[in-house]
């Protein structure tokens, strides 16, 4: 765009209508960034995407199934409350102003509440009423905000706020009466218009009276504990005056205890609510079901090692009790595995994995040869076979197909055996192998479970178990083996059912006869006898005890426990013993912990101590690990404060800072102005100290007015 002209003038250039389009990266391209084994990254991304979609679908179905009972109870409560009101069967004039209220106990796993309330809102709108409004405490700081959010979500429109200062002042003086009746009156008019419009619509088939004639208005308070009690009280008082005109129903989401309602609302307000309590499934039971259905199954080829599982379960038990965050951790591990492991192209269904083996390149086969599990496998082979495995790619592909089949067969047999062992040991005293199946799974992932002392003690307890108890446990074992489609598990099921039938048909007559024979010498002792006869009787009793045969029940019990022991030893070795386990198992627990269990204080300290690695400025680079005098002010102030004690003198701190800054500015150390504090340095110092206080490294103290207390490295 240029012009040539002899005369001076003004030239206008209109912008081009063709905008330069910036190409945005797709998900697969983001996945490829920093990805090892770029040749197969598209295939791996496709496998990851398909596998995660399947896991996510299964998770949503499972969560809907777990919440079904409490959600159905809530729907039934709302439907009954609405139908009772429509039949004009309000119990008495005393209860005419009471608002039906459901107190939903959800537990402290706050991140999971949104999914529950979303499902509840969808079910309500589908089957009970279209008028549902959900509010949170963070958006309802005042009564005006609460009323505005409720009206907007019910009426699906924008409600304008009054900006008149005089009117706002008047509403502060009279918060309940004058300012807000108009808003609820507007809601009444809107509701009457809606119901009349529905009743006058011709040709519409009625499904239920509550849905067609006068559907209720449901207001959901997601986090009741976080609401301002005064705002909540005023809102309930206002709504109680309109309960005859508006079919209002409240749902309180409570994380702690039902007594929260009593603590937040006085009796004069809580008496206006007709409260019914609903209890959801506990988060620990929810986690157990998720692990049982999504992780302890051979349906999904992706697996996690014991350390990764411990990190995810530890974050759940000691941080947030959130099943949603646990599933996000599984997603992170899945993404990291397919991104960092080039051989994860084999982490898929058996048929697809066998096809992918034939498409492996020479570089991929070399990576297989470098796997620790494959190295152990090669060392166990004969010398000629070792040479072929290390040199012949075609032979290696053939062996890899066999190893992939063995790995899938291992998973098919592992999980039914794990459930069988858990069914036997989960009810033993003191739970030697854990009460939850995830505890037993973690043990089996780390070591050979049959070599542990807990396993030996569990077997000893099973040997002392009575007949009826053992039969009940064996029946549970058969139930765990029935769904399996593995040939070995089916044969084990047949053998176990055969032993179980022998237990049931066991005749105890021989035990009674044996008991009578043993008690005969005891009866002979009751007769009068001399010392010699007594000695002979005791010797005979001792001899009979030594030669006593084991009872039929004891023999059969020993056979069953030996069968279980062999089953465990054959099918519950740790995954590390399986060749090519690295293809399916993700083992980097440090990455999962770093992403999910962030330590901001440590990161901030590292940034302040080593600013070069964050700013990438060559002037900040030092060899001895110290901070350069050209570093940002907060880094200099942080470094100087580490050299002080528990209390830091602000004047001395300022003088040291001024000296460092003067050296950075290139002043002569022998000049009079070197280290002198001017207004600019003083302002920069105050700002850096304020930032350190904001980050929590120092705090003001009342011990000395010109000192601050240090909070790092043991400071109080």
Q: What is the pLDDT of residues 687-716, one digit of tens each?
A: 999 999 999 899 988 888 889 999 876 433
- Using 50, 70 and 90 to split pLDDT, how confident is the model at 209? very low
Rounded Cα–Cα distance for residues 97 and 114 (Å): 30
Q: Which domains does the chain have, with CATH numbers?
A: 59-164+173-196+210-281 (3.40.50.300), 295-483+565-586 (no CATH), 600-710 (no CATH)
- pLDDT over 70 (residue 19): no
- pLDDT over 60 (residue 511): no
Q: List beta partners, residue 648.
A: 708
Q: What is the mean pLDDT of the chain?
A: 83
Please give the residue that has the higher pLDDT: either 334 or 16. Answer: 334
Give tens-digit pLDDT for 42-79: 899 999 999 999 999 999 899 889 889 999 999 999 98
710 three-state secondary structure: strand
pLDDT at 199: 57
Give the mean pLDDT of 520-538: 64
- Using 50, 70 and 90 to split pLDDT, how confident is the model at 599? confident
Rounded Cα–Cα distance for residues 663 and 679 (Å): 17
- Using 50, 70 and 90 to split pLDDT, how confident is the model at 300? very high
Give tens-digit pLDDT for 321-344: 999 999 999 999 999 999 999 999
Tokens linked to 428: 């033993």
**SS3 per-residue string spanning 369-417:** HCCHHHHHHHHCCCHHHHHHHHHCHHHHHHHHHHHHHHHHHHHHHHHHH
Contacts of 112 (CB under 8 A, 6+ apart): 106, 283, 286, 322, 323, 324
- Using 50, 70 and 90 to split pLDDT, how confident is the model at 269? very high
- Using 50, 70 and 90 to split pLDDT, how confident is the model at 164? very low
Rounded Cα–Cα distance for residues 442 and 436 (Å): 10
Give the mean pLDDT of 187-196: 86
Give the mean pLDDT of 606-612: 87
- pLDDT over 70 (residue 28): yes
The percentage of residues in the chain with a pLDDT greater than 90, rounded to a whole number, is 54
Please give the residue that has the higher pLDDT: either 402 or 83. Answer: 402
- pLDDT over 70 (residue 496): yes
- Using 50, 70 and 90 to split pLDDT, how confident is the model at 532? confident
Taking the CB of residue 292, how many other CB atoms lie within 10 A of it?
17
- pLDDT over 50 (residue 310): yes
pLDDT at 81: 86
Element (H, E) at 698: strand 698-700
The percentage of residues in the chain with a pLDDT greater than 70, rounded to a whole number, is 82
Q: For the chain, how are helix, strand and coil distributed in percent, rounded to 5? A: 65, 5, 30
Give the mean pLDDT of 634-651: 90
Q: Read off the pTM.
A: 0.78
pLDDT at 10: 53
- pLDDT over 70 (residue 528): no
Rounded Cα–Cα distance for residues 323 and 292 (Å): 13
pLDDT at 450: 96
- Using 50, 70 and 90 to split pLDDT, how confident is the model at 297? very high
Give the mean pLDDT of 411-426: 96
Please give the residue that has the higher pLDDT: either 224 or 513. Answer: 224
Rounded Cα–Cα distance for residues 150 and 146 (Å): 6
Ramachandran quadrant class, 616 (left: phi over 0; alpha: psi -120 to 50; beta: rest): left
pLDDT at 198: 62
């Amino acid at each position: 765009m240029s012009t040539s002209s002899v005369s001076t003038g003004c030239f206008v250039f209109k912008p081009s209508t063709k905008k330069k389009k910036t190409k945005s990266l797709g998900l697969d391209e983001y996945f490829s960034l920093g990805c090892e084994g770029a040749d197969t990254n598209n295939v791996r991304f496709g496998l990851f995407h398909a596998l995660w979609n399947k896991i996510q679908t299964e998770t949503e179905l499972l969560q809907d199934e777990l919440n079904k009972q409490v959600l159905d109870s809530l729907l039934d409560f709302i439907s009954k409350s609405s139908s009772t009101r429509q039949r004009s069967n309000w119990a008495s004039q005393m209860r005419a102003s009471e608002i039906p209220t459901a107190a939903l106990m959800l537990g402290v796993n706050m991140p999971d509440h949104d999914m529950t309330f979303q499902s509840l809102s969808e079910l309500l709108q589908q089957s009970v009423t279209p008028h549902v409004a959900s509010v949170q405490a963070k958006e309802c700081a005042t009564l005006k905000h609460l009323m505005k959010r409720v009206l907007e979500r019910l009426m699906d429109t924008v409600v304008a706020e009054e900006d008149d200062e005089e009117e706002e002042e008047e509403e502060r003086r009279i918060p309940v009466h004058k300012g807000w009746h108009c808003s609820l009156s507007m809601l009444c008019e809107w509701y009457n218009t809606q119901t009349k419009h529905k009743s006058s619509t011709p040709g519409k088939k009625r499904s239920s009276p509550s849905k067609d004639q006068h559907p209720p208005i449901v207001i959901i308070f997601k986090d009741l504990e976080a609401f301002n009690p005064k705002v909540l009280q005023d809102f309930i008082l206002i709504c109680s005056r309109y309960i005859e005109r508006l079919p209002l129903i409240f749902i309180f989401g409570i994380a702690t205890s039902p007594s929260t309602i009593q603590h937040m609302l006085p009796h004069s307000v809580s008496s206006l609510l007709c409260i019914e309590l609903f209890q959801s499934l506990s988060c620990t039971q929810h986690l157990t079901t998720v692990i049982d259905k999504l992780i302890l199954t051979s349906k999904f080829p992706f697996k996690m090692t014991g350390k990764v599982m411990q990190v995810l379960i530890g974050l759940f038990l000691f941080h947030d009790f959130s099943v949603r965050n646990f599933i996000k951790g599984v997603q992170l591990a899945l993404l990291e595995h397919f991104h960092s492991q080039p051989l994860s192209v084999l982490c898929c269904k058996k048929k697809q994995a066998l096809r992918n083996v034939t498409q492996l390149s020479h570089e991929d086969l070399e990576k297989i040869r470098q796997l620790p599990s494959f190295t152990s496998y090669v060392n166990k082979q004969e010398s000629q076979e070792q040479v072929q495995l290390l040199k012949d790619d075609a032979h290696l592909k053939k062996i890899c197909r066999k190893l992939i089949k063995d790995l899938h067969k291992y998973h098919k047999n592992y999980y039914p055996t794990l459930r069988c062992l858990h069914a036997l040991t989960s009810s033993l005293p003191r739970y030697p192998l854990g009460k939850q199946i995830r505890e037993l799974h973690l043990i089996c992932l780390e070591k050979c479970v049959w070599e542990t002392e807990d396993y030996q003690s569990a077997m000893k307890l099973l040997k002392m178990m009575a007949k009826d108890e053992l039969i009940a446990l064996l029946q549970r074992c058969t139930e765990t083996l029935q769904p399996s489609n593995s040939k070995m598990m089916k044969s084990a099921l047949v053998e176990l059912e055969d032993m179980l039938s022998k237990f049931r048909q066991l005749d105890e007559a021989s035990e009674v006869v044996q008991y009578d024979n043993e008690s005969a010498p005891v009866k002979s002792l009751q007769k009068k006898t001399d010392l010699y006869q007594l000695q002979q009787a005791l010797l005979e009793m001792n001899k009979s005890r030594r030669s006593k045969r084991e009872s039929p029940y004891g023999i059969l019990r020993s056979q069953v426990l030996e069968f279980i022991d062999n089953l465990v030893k054959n099918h519950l070795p740790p995954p590390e013993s399986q060749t090519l386990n690295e293809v399916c198992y993700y083992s980097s627990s440090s990455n999962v912990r770093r992403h999910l269990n962030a330590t901001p204080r440590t990161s901030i300290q590292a940034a302040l101590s080593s600013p070069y690695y964050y700013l990438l400025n060559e002037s900040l680079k030092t060899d001895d690990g110290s901070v350069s005098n050209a570093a940002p002010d907060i880094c200099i102030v942080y470094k100087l404060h580490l050299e002080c004690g528990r209390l830091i003198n602000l004047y001395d701190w300022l003088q040291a800072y001024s000296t460092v800054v003067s050296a950075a500015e290139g002043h002569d150390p022998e000049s009079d102005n070197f280290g002198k504090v001017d207004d600019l340095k003083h302002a920069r110092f105050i700002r850096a100290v304020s930032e350190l206080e904001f980050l929590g490294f120092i705090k003001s103290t009342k011990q000395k007015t010109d000192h601050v207390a240090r909070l790092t490295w043991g400071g109080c």
